[in-house]
Amino acid sequence: MKRIFLIGYMGSGKSAMGRMLAKHLDLDFIDLDAYIENKYRLSIAQIFELEGEKAFREKEKYCLEEVAEFENVVIATGGGAPCFYNNMELMNAKGKTIYLKLTAEHLSKRLAGSKPGLRPILQNKTGDELFRFIQEKLAEREKYYEQAHYIIEGSDKEIEDALLGLDL
């Protein structure tokens, strides 16, 4: 039985890499954000807007506990998921965790092109403001991310190759 969690900051490619890895290992793929949206019939942005971040984190934890029982899956988590409650501990106990580690420069370039309103945490920041925000948040979150069983970093291609080379 395999259960793999991909973690990392917004824009690190967890969903795309997760899909690719699931296909490669012949496992199912679950995107935790999409799972939350389906369960509550609200978009992530709507949950933040209507109920606030605390309520979102509670729903996220509840859904993480559910998907952490699924078997033979690759699960891409939201960027904040490992940093609240005992979520990181839970993922490490329930499966293999992989941190996709990108620099703040790389992330801000990738996120600069993302759809406005899609990621409420970024509040439509752009340019230098976006870069500084990511740099600060990443510094806070790294202590959680770095608890992962595997840490892979580099360019998109290097991350893809490293993922496919892991003995999971």
Residue 154 contacts ligand S3P per CB under 6 A: no
Closest CA to 97 of 119, 68, 55: 68
Residue 82 touches ligand S3P, criterion: CB under 6 A: no
Nearer of residues 146 and 165 to ligand S3P, judged by Cβ? 146
Exposure string of 2-25, with b = 16+ CB inside 10 Å and e = fewer, is ebbbbbbbbbbbbbebbebbbeeb
Residue 101 as a binder of ligand S3P (CB under 6 A): the answer is no
Torsion of CA 139, 144, 147, 150, to 10 degrees: -70
Per CB under 6 A, which region of 67-75, 89-97, 114-122, 157-165 contacts ligand S3P?
Answer: 114-122
Stretch that binds ligand S3P, among 19-27, 117-125, 128-136, 153-161 (CB under 6 A): 117-125
Q: Count other Cβ atoms within 10 Å, centred on residue 155.
A: 10
Query: Per the structure block, which two tokens stand in for 130?
Result: 């976006």
Instruction: Give the residue at shortest CB distance from ligand S3P.
Output: 78
> Segment 119-138, which members bind ligand S3P (CB under 6 A)?
119-121
> What is the rounded CA–CA span in Å between residue 44 and residue 77?
13
Strand, helix or coil at 118? coil
Residue with tokens 């998907």: 67
Q: Minimal distance in Å, beta carbon 119 to ligand S3P?
A: 5
Residue 112, interface with ligand S3P (CB under 6 A)?
no
- Applying CB under 6 A, the span of 16-24, 74-82, 128-136, 147-155 interacting with ligand S3P comes to 74-82
Chain contacts with ligand S3P (rule: CB under 6 A) = 10, 33, 44, 78-80, 119-121
